[in-house]
Amino acid sequence: MFQKCLNQILDLIMPQVCYLCGQQSDHSAPICKQCLTYLPLHQASKSCSRCGAKLIKNACGCHITLPYLSYVKPVFNYEYPIIQLIHSAKYRDNLVMLRLLSEQMQKHIHFLDKPDCLIPVPSHPKKLKQRGYNQAVEMAKVISSYTNIPMLNYLCQCVKNIPPQASLNDIKARQKNVKGAFKVFPHKLSNKIKHVVIIDDIVTTGSTANEIAGELLLSLTSVKKVGVWCCAKA
């Protein structure tokens, strides 16, 4: 805890040096303006329009594996330096980097159909206690503040302390791992929600988001569409 506070204080008082090129950053951000322009934006034209996966041919089986999700919108390609930036934000308490990634997400996400609310992928309370923050909640907070779309992070909660999805390779194991891990707790206003967007840092197979979407569709009859905005699609 002490180390975490110290790092945050150092971030505030030390001159910002770009995390990628080492030059002094001119706008007190962890990445300089020039390096920001080189971040690999996701190209929708080269991906499945539904799940965001890179298409080798025009075929993707996501309507079978992810039946509850209407769409997945990744902002960046899952490659250098995005993998390293997300890792730093997620595992090294780099909250300044997390904020920058969140701001980049809101800057590059375009939508015609405005969702009614944002739901960050919930962490189990034990995991939250260990890490001290949930990166998806921090991302959703920033996106909500820019877009005025409310974040409802208590509507869906993680009720099973499951092994991390990243520790499992195959899609069947990941689907099984998240089964029953999330529960929706409706409140009196939630019966007006029609379109939900789940916020996550990395979507890999999409099994976690699909499980949450299934719970939302089952628990709230008003919900008709569940999509995902994520920093990157692996």
* Token pair listed for 23: 């030059």
- Give min distance, CB of 130 to Zn ion, in A: 32
Q: Which is nearer to Zn ion, 1 or 64 (CB)?
A: 64
Q: Which is nearer to Zn ion, 24 or 145 (CB)?
A: 24
Give the interface with Zn ion as residue ranges (CB under 5 A). 18, 20-21, 32, 35, 48, 50-51, 53, 60, 62
Smallest gap from Cβ 39 to Zn ion, in A, equals 11
The nearest distance, CB 161 to Zn ion, in angstroms, is 30
**Minimal distance in Å, beta carbon 17 to Zn ion?**
9
Q: Tell me the C-alpha to C-alpha distance, in Å, between residue 166 and each of 200, 206, 221.
A: 14, 12, 32
3-class DSSP state of 55: coil
CA-nearest of 32, 6, 28, 4 to 18 is 32
User: What's the CA angle centered on 64, arms 61 and 66, to 5 degrees?
Assistant: 95
Please say which residue, 20 or 220, places its beta carbon nearer to Zn ion: 20
**Alpha-helix runs per DSSP H in the chain:** 2-13, 33-37, 62-65, 82-91, 95-108, 125-131, 135-147, 171-178, 207-219
- Output 35 or 171, the one with its CB closest to Zn ion: 35
